Amino acid sequence: MNVQRPTPLRVLVVDADPAARPLIKELGDLGFEVYAASRGRFATPVGRSVRPDLVILDMALPDDDAVGTYDGLRAAGVRAPVLFLSAGEDTEAAAAVRRTMAALDGHLTKPYEVAEVVAHGRELLARDLADESRLLRHGDLSVDPARRRVWRDGTRVELSAREFELLGYLLDHAGQVVTKKQILERVWGAPFRTGTVETYIYYLRRKLGDGDQRLIRTVRGVGYTMVRD
């Protein structure tokens, strides 16, 4: 059975200040998967690609304001909590961010200690993960539909868009047997070969560590069923 290794939490640091380098290194040393963008215009494509769990965003970027960068990330589908960093005298920028956002996720004033940023970041991550209202649960599976994220037994599972749609369809019909044809029609919306479903079921089981079919059971000659919680 192939069991996925725990996926490290991803942090996107958007800051052109050289003082951010020790922070980036420290986050990496602590086991985070760190991505950096020195300009606001770089943050959106990086965020769209890596789907970070946490964003650390400087309010004083050379080419863009924090509001524009924040809006760009949200428009790109990045729903991670944001820790804003501002210079002590930069109260106008901080106020602008507070006025623009319904709520400021987190805020620190420069200069800061790396340990202080890490502590605030961990607090935001814990608060974000503990937001039970948006999570769907099925046994040891937790699914965040808005951010299209999945955890099994507390470990993040990285799924492709199609794998996520397939899992969602199976969960919506938990306890029911669904045929390969039904899956193709609802998940793919086109008459692909049934082998496509078999391939993606294999991918999904591998990533979920479900080689024993305790979650997704094959009903021979018919299709599959998500075992009822």
Q: Are strands 141-144 and 136-138 parallel, antiparallel or unpaired?
A: antiparallel
User: What tokens appear for 194 in the block?
Assistant: 């049934």
Of 222, 121, 119, give the one whose Cα is nearest residue 177.
222
Name the packing angle between helices 114-129 and 20-29 (round to 10°): 60
On the question of a cis peptide bond just before residue 111, with omega within 30 degrees of 0, the verdict is yes
The pLDDT, as a whole number, for residue 3 is 36
The pLDDT, as a whole number, for residue 171 is 94
Give the chain's length.
Answer: 229
Cα-only R_g, the chain: 21
Domain ranges (residues) in the chain: 10-129, 134-226
Of 56, 73, 76, 61, give the one whose Cα is nearest residue 9.
56
Architecture of domain 134-226: Orthogonal Bundle (1.10)
The pLDDT, as a whole number, for residue 127 is 75
User: What is d(CA 192, CA 69) in angstroms, rounded to the nearest whole number?
Assistant: 40
DSSP state of 75: H
* pLDDT tens digits for range 104-139: 567 777 778 888 888 888 888 777 766 555 678 888
Architecture of domain 10-129: 3-Layer(aba) Sandwich (3.40)
- Integer angstrom CA distances of residue 149 from 49, 161, 228: 14, 10, 20
User: What is d(CA 151, CA 125) in angstroms, rounded to the nearest whole number?
Assistant: 14
- Decide if 203 contacts 150 (C-beta within 8 A): no
Please provide the distance, in angstroms rounded to a whole number, between the alpha carbons at the two ends of the chain.
22
User: What is d(CA 226, CA 216) in angstroms, rounded to the nearest whole number?
Assistant: 5
- Integer angstrom CA distances of residue 177 from 22, 132, 162, 180, 221: 53, 29, 20, 10, 11
Instruction: Tell me the whole-structure pTM to 2 decimals.
Output: 0.56
Per-residue pLDDT tens digits of the chain, which is 229 residues long: 333 444 678 899 998 878 788 888 888 888 889 999 988 889 999 998 888 989 999 887 776 677 788 888 888 878 788 888 877 655 555 555 554 443 456 777 777 888 888 888 888 877 776 655 567 888 888 888 866 778 887 777 888 888 999 999 999 999 999 999 999 988 888 766 778 899 999 999 999 999 889 999 999 989 999 998 6
